[in-house]
Structure 1
Amino acid sequence: MAEELIVSGWMDYAPDDRDTVLSALVELGRRTREEEPGCLDYAMTADPDDERRIRVFEHWTSRQALDEHFATPHIKDFRTVVAGLARVGVSLTAHTVAASHPMR
């Protein structure tokens, strides 16, 4: 059985570019969740305390599902939209899920 993966972290864009990136991420997230059965969750959100930062949370059924995500047409579309924008920092980490349980 494949191990689930969580991708978390942040991406920083120039303040004037962040809203454009977020708009593109809304479409990317919608298509990812709808079209990719290996995606369990996909959320990119504006950090309320930093005008540059976008928080990243992704949950995948496997490393293979994540790898396949990078070859989709909607990733290509997203990369085209943000190609000229200024990403000024990034910190993303993939975590292999050992176990999960509901929180009470």
Structure 2
Amino acid sequence: MLMVIGKATLGEAGKDAALDAFKTMIEASRAEQGCIDYAYALDVIDPSVMHITEKWTDEAALAEHFQTPHMAAFRSALGDLDVQIIDVKKFRTDEGAPLL
């Protein structure tokens, strides 16, 4: 399994449009074959920070994700908004186990 973990900042200008773009991206990505989970979350302490968490079955699924029409539309939308990707990394991991 691959996990993608990242952060982005959202400027106040166009924040609603950015959130709409994120929602559309989440819904389309979760429908992709090979997507285990796909989520963005606003930081509780600093709501200008968006946390990115994705889980993919393998490299092929993630590579296909980057070729989808909704990814192209998302990149285009971000170019018009005050969103800055701070850090995004992928990790290879196992399926995990319950913590508690």
Of 27, 34, 41, which residue of structure 1 is paired with 2:37?
41
- The question of whether the paired residues in 1 share the 8 Å contact of 2:6 and 2:88 is answered with yes
- 1:69, distance to aligned residue in structure 2 (A): 0.4
Task: Render the CA deviation track for 1:35-61: whole Å, top value 9, x for unaligned.
Answer: x11100000111122132111000000
Secondary structure of the corresponding residue to residue 11 of structure 1: strand
Aligned to 1:6: 3
Kindly tell me: are residues 89 and 70 of structure 1, through their superposed partners in 2, closer, same or farther at Cα, counting changes over 3 Å? closer
Aligned to 1:15: 12
Using the alignment, how far apart are the partners of 1:67 and 1:21 within structure 2?
24
Of 79, 91, 96, which residue of structure 2 is paired with 1:95?
91
- 1:7, distance to aligned residue in structure 2 (A): 0.5
Stretches of structure 1 lacking an aligned partner (at least 5 in a row): none
Aligned to 1:63: 59
Using the alignment, how far apart are the partners of 2:85 and 2:53 within structure 1?
16
Kindly tell me: are residues 6 and 37 of structure 1, through their superposed partners in 2, closer, same or farther at Cα, counting changes over 3 Å? same
- The question of whether the paired residues in 2 share the 8 Å contact of 1:44 and 1:56 is answered with yes
Stretches of structure 2 lacking an aligned partner (at least 5 in a row): none
Using the alignment, how far apart are the partners of 2:43 and 2:99 within structure 1?
24
Kindly tell me: are residues 40 and 53 of structure 1, through their superposed partners in 2, closer, same or farther at Cα, counting changes over 3 Å? same
